[in-house]
Chains A and B, each alone.
Chain A
Amino acid sequence: MELYLGIDVGSVSTNLVLIDEDNNVHESLYLRTRGQPIRVIKEGMQILKEKYENKVSIKGVGTTGSGRYLAGVIVGADIVKNEITAHAIATTTFVPEVQTIIEIGGQDSKIIIIRDGVVTDFAMNTVCAAGTGSFLDQQASRLNIPIEKFGELALKSTVPVRIAGRCTVFAESDMIHKQQLGYKVEDIINGLCEALVRNYLNNVGKNKEILPPIVFQGGVAANRGIREAFARALGQDIIVPKYYNVMGAIGAAILAREATNGQKTNFKGFAIADYNYETRSFECTYCPNHCEIAEISEEGKVIGRWGGRCPRWEVI
């Protein structure tokens, strides 16, 4: 079987998918990055190796996410793409009529506006936690509720509670306050979901024309409370695609297929799971910018460098 590999390396999760010519997803892995992207990429490759080595042929590899360049040099990517493009490609493949993509992950969130199948506008939030999954994680642990239960509980809410959610610090103190006032926990949770949605729409979604069909993806899309809160706030149905939490990786795989277009792939093979990778960083002193250069070597040989403001270190 001929498959395409897509890898999305983010700060919270690293996802790997295998798709075929017809966009059927044969495998999807969702792994925690835990600040060690190289290790988790190898781990993912190891899993794939055990299941697929000698059984399938990888025709192309694409990488995306904040660790896309790193992943790219490790696996030998045919294409390295930003996460906006990757997400948009995946979504338009599965929901061709989509006009708005809401993506909320653990550390960041984005909105992508699509008209006639092409991206026309987008915005990203990477600085403020109040509109991302980590906001929910934090509050869930405050309330001692497993995050998986969060969404279900929110749906049980009967009394609306408004939580000030402009920023995580305010949200927290307001939540404690509401708890002390004796509000039920499900109402508070629902209030938190609505606060996150409000935040998202006011920051990331500001000035964007949010038209249906609206697709909601990213790790947080699993949370039904948030999904319902979006549906209420926008007065529209919210579509959560089957592979909502690995859409970036799927997009990367689709892009890899486009990029190779029948030509030979750069993929180094599953063997990379056993290679030895080392990183180091140093300060460049050639000019007063003093860039912090990160370097990665494979089996003792340098395969990539980043961090320079000029191309000095780019050539290997």
Chain B
Amino acid sequence: MKTLRITFPYMGNYVHAFRGLLEDLGYEVVMPVKPSKRTLDLGVKYAPEFSCLPYKIVLGTYLETLPKGVDRIVTSGGVGPCRAGLYASLHEKILKKMGYNVEFIVLEPPLVDLKGFYKTVQELNYKNYSLWYIYKAIKRNWRKIKALDTIEQKALFLRPRELTKGSVSAKYKEVLQYVINAFSEKEIAEAEQEALKQLDKIPVNLEKLVVKVGMVGEIYVLLEPSSNFEIEETIGHLGAEVKRSMFLTGWTRDNTLPGKSEELVSVKAAAQPYLPELIGGHGQDSIGNAILYIKQGFDGLIQLAPFTCIPEIVARTILTKISQEHNFPILTFFLDEQTGKAGMETRLEAFIDLLKRKKLQKLERAKGGNIDGALSWN
């Protein structure tokens, strides 16, 4: 049987696990390249004008990858009643029109629909591997995703505390390779340990006063740094710790979180009073997570939303209310192809300043006016 060539959208570090799984299923993987300005330009050129940023970037990615020869594209579907559900078929239409004959396979996120996920996996399984084999392959690559998430979260924690600006980002890039290159679960676990060990060697100041910022929003712009101007890195360099609400594994290492994988359930529960209905996309998660961040004593929240993204626009209206009710600073970025890095940085810097001054004031008050000289932002 001919070996099929397959590709998928670019989404953060996860592409490495996707690749692993598809190779296990007997595909030749045509790796997408990290989205760049060229990718976006391509997407903007061929996508409907009012489609959202993720749609354009993903289309651009396909247009960069397809000329290399691709038989199949595997992508994810949307959650609830939002146009993300139509993404794949719209993309398919445009690509067909342009003369690319490629088959789409739409994968539902396993956490949302385990059964559907399994069914699509069977569809992907064109070489008819045994169930046991596939189970092992998924398990192995799932482990890889967890490892990627773990070291990413470690980097997010360390970055604002580093003594030399840029040292965490540089090391992180290096140790990611350990995990990417690991194959068996044992190797992955070892690579993860080694990566964490290396990251821990970076000189940091753990005493430093750091503000904690939660980050919510639409999944693509949250998970793919090139679509948000590497906002997490920028925030880290401004001396704030970011906690992203979304990791593919839904799995978090933060021990301060009440419960473990109940997290997803409680996000929904937290959003209930404000938005009982599923509005599609990740609007409800944005609200639920905002409430959870407030409960956990975070200093502020950033919402990332593609321009024209209905679920996030709805969420924003509610977040404004939450912000006022809880005296909790929230900053929203609407992203499109026109967004500039400079303007975004100005607002981010101002926002982090705000959080720092506010926190300092709170600490001063708690200490009755005189704050300890040991408290320092540096």
Residues of chain A at the chain B interface (Cβ within 8 Å): 66, 81-85, 116-122, 124, 126, 207, 209, 287-291, 309, 311
Contacts and interface: CB of A to CB of B under 8 A. Distances in A.
Nearest to B353: A85
A122 B354 CA distance: 9
Contacts of B341: 309
B229 interface: yes
A126 B340 CA distance: 11
Contacts of B349: 81-82, 85
Contacts of A119: 350, 353-354, 357-358
Contact of A117 (B342, B347, B350, B361): B361
B166 interface: yes
B37 A289 contact: yes
A122 B329 CA distance: 10
A288 B36 CA distance: 6
17 contacts: A66-B342, A84-B347, A84-B354, A85-B349, A116-B361, A118-B354, A118-B357, A118-B358, A118-B361, A119-B353, A119-B358, A121-B323, A121-B329, A122-B347, A124-B343, A289-B37, A311-B166
B354 A309 contact: no
Q: Assign chain B's interface to a size class.
A: 20 to 34
Contacts of A116: 361
Nearest to B229: A309
Contact of A309 (B230, B323, B327, B350): B230
B37 A84 contact: no
Given A207-B320, A288-B36, A311-B166, A120 B329 contact: yes
Given A84-B350, A209-B324, 18 more contacts: A82-B346, A82-B347, A84-B353, A85-B350, A85-B353, A116-B361, A117-B361, A118-B358, A118-B361, A120-B327, A120-B329, A121-B323, A121-B354, A122-B347, A124-B343, A207-B320, A288-B36, A311-B166
A288 B324 CA distance: 42
B343 A289 contact: no
A258 to B, nearest CB: 11
A80 B353 CA distance: 12
Contacts of B39: 288
B163 interface: no
A73 to B, nearest CB: 16
Interface string B161-174: 00000100100000
Contacts of B343: 124, 126
Contacts of A85: 349-350, 353-354
A120 B36 CA distance: 35
A153 B357 CA distance: 42
Contacts of A309: 229-230, 341
A83 B354 contact: no
B33 interface: yes
Interface in B193-230: 229-230
